[in-house]
Amino acid sequence: SSLFGSRRAYVFINEWTFEPLNKAYNATFELHWQETFRGEWADLSGQLLVRSNGTLGTFTFERGSEHAEEKWNDRIVGDILELKPLFPNLMPETDPTRGDEEPSRQ
């Protein structure tokens, strides 16, 4: 990383679908970034799956440049990153005595 962090980044959503039966979104993303002003560009792509209420999200790494793969492997174990709820302020309080089954993610 440079002194000021990443300088340029672009995100592309190549396609997305909504699965009504599962109430979930499925999107293919590309991320391109340059850590220094004239540095080499890195890129990665993958699949985002998330419920419509923002829970149970995962990002699956599919491919990346050599630099992007190194960064991913330094920070993430495996190809799947489990995400925290996307809208934490909208999450209902769960009551363990009621038998709420939704697992919490850290």
| Each residue's pLDDT tens digit, 42-74 | 999 999 999 999 999 999 999 999 999 999 999
3: in domain: no
* pTM metric for this prediction: 0.74
Q: Cα–chain-centroid distance for residue 43?
A: 14
Instruction: Quickly state the pLDDT bin for 5 (edges 50, 70, 90).
Output: low
33: in domain: yes
49: in domain: yes
97: in domain: no
How many domains in the chain? 1
What domain range is 29 assigned to? 8-86
Say whether pLDDT at 24 is over 70: yes
List, in sequence order, every beta strand (DSSP E) within the chain: 8-19, 24-34, 41-51, 58-64, 80-82
Q: Cα–chain-centroid distance for residue 82?
A: 8
102: in domain: no
Other beta carbons within 10 angstroms of residue 59's beta carbon come to 19
d(CA 17, CA 10): 21
